[in-house]
Homo-oligomer: A and B are copies of this chain.
Amino acid sequence: MLTSDVHRTYRDRPVLVTGGLGFLGSNLVITLVNAGARVMIVDSSVAGCGANPFNLDPVCGKVEVFPCDIGDPEVDRPLSEADIIFNLAGEVSHIHSMLFPERDLRINTLAQLKFLEACRREAPGRRVVYASTRQVYGAPQYLPVDEQHPVAPVDFNGVHECATAHYHHLLTRLNCIDAVVLRFTNVYGPRMAIKLPCQGVLSVFLRKAVRGEPIILYGDGTQVRDPLHVSDACEALLRAGAVSNPEQRTLNVGGRTPVTLLGIANELQAQRCLPATEFVPFPAERARIDIGNYRSDSSACESTLGWLPVTDLCKGLRETLKYYDEHVTRYLEIGRPCSCPLSHS
């Protein structure tokens, strides 16, 4: 299916996006509004997660925002009106989950359980696209990682995302909802919460680059990743929302080209003339949840959704930096040190 045809299927359709104020959520909302959808958003702006009202500046006045938790009864009304549900709400920080496992369970599993109970009641049979993560696989036993790879999360966030993915599949088997679960690799692009710590390596690299500071690499930087530009991630989400009777309901969504963290650092350094990259030993608390090299096998996603990532890393990083340059005060408070908002709560 052509991208233009996929987007056309959303014209005038009521769609709900949970976590719509966050990084991936807001980019999806903008894409959906541009495709002509009537977008409703549920987002409770949980402290420490990536919600930022400015993310929705381009669609201001064109969307309806419900400022409630996905586990609250207030989700019933938007759910009952939605044709398609994009379930992107959640805490993505692996580090936060290790510091506060019960908080992660509440946000990523208990609230989701309540939300899915509301889905089966208010939106029976509706398509629900759940944004999960490659983190559930843990340290890869082989590369590239396909969907048959054993699940062995190395942090609480992975355990809880995995449980919530099971909820989606369980309720699909029971014909309560019609779910597709996407397991995203490292997604980057405009609207990441680069101010926050613990949002992943690409967020940290971008923060350094925007500030003109040297990038710091743990170890030798040879760990492989397959970064995915958020526009490609949104395209996968739109296709997952539109596909009929998918043969496979768990799909890996990975980037176009594997690259080392050093390679990403070098690209950012070159684009921004940053000071020399610094190499430091792996901090213990990071080493114990590091997964080594990772590369997705996205062939099932490609065949099921007719999807292919198209954004080249150099171009993607350049556009991302341009975005933050234009809106730097909205994403960084220059001169103030970053700190973990959870550590003060």
Chain A positions within 8 Å of B, measured between CB atoms, are 101-102, 105, 109-110, 113-114, 117, 148, 150-156, 158-160, 162-163, 166-167, 169-170, 173-174, 288
Contact = CB atoms under 8 A, between A and B. Distances in A.
A242 B154 CA distance: 26
Contact of A113 (B105, B150, B167, B173): B105
A117 B114 CA distance: 25
A102 B110 contact: yes
6 contacts: A109-B109, A109-B163, A153-B166, A154-B170, A158-B166, A159-B167
Contacts of A102: 110, 113-114
A122 B166 CA distance: 32
Copies in the complex: 2
A158 B173 CA distance: 14
A159 B153 contact: no
A45 to B, nearest CB: 24
Nearest to A110: B105
Contacts of A173: 154, 288
A288 B175 CA distance: 10
Contacts of A155: 170
A174 B109 contact: no
Contacts of A163: 109, 159-160, 162-163
Contacts of A101: 113, 117
B166 A170 contact: no
Given A113-B102, A114-B102, A166 B174 contact: no
Given A109-B109, A162-B162, 19 more contacts: A102-B113, A105-B110, A109-B163, A148-B150, A151-B151, A152-B166, A153-B170, A154-B170, A154-B173, A155-B170, A156-B167, A156-B170, A158-B166, A159-B163, A159-B167, A162-B163, A162-B166, A163-B163, A173-B288
Contacts of A105: 109-110, 113
Contacts of A113: 101-102, 105
Given A101-B117, A114-B102, A170 B174 contact: no
B110 A174 contact: no
A83 to B, nearest CB: 25
A113 B158 CA distance: 14
Contacts of A170: 153-156, 159
Give the residue among A105, A163, A173 with the most B Cβ atoms within 10 A: A163
A62 B13 CA distance: 68
Nearest to A102: B113
Nearest to A176: B288
B151 A288 contact: no
Contacts of A159: 163, 166-167, 170
Nearest to A156: B170
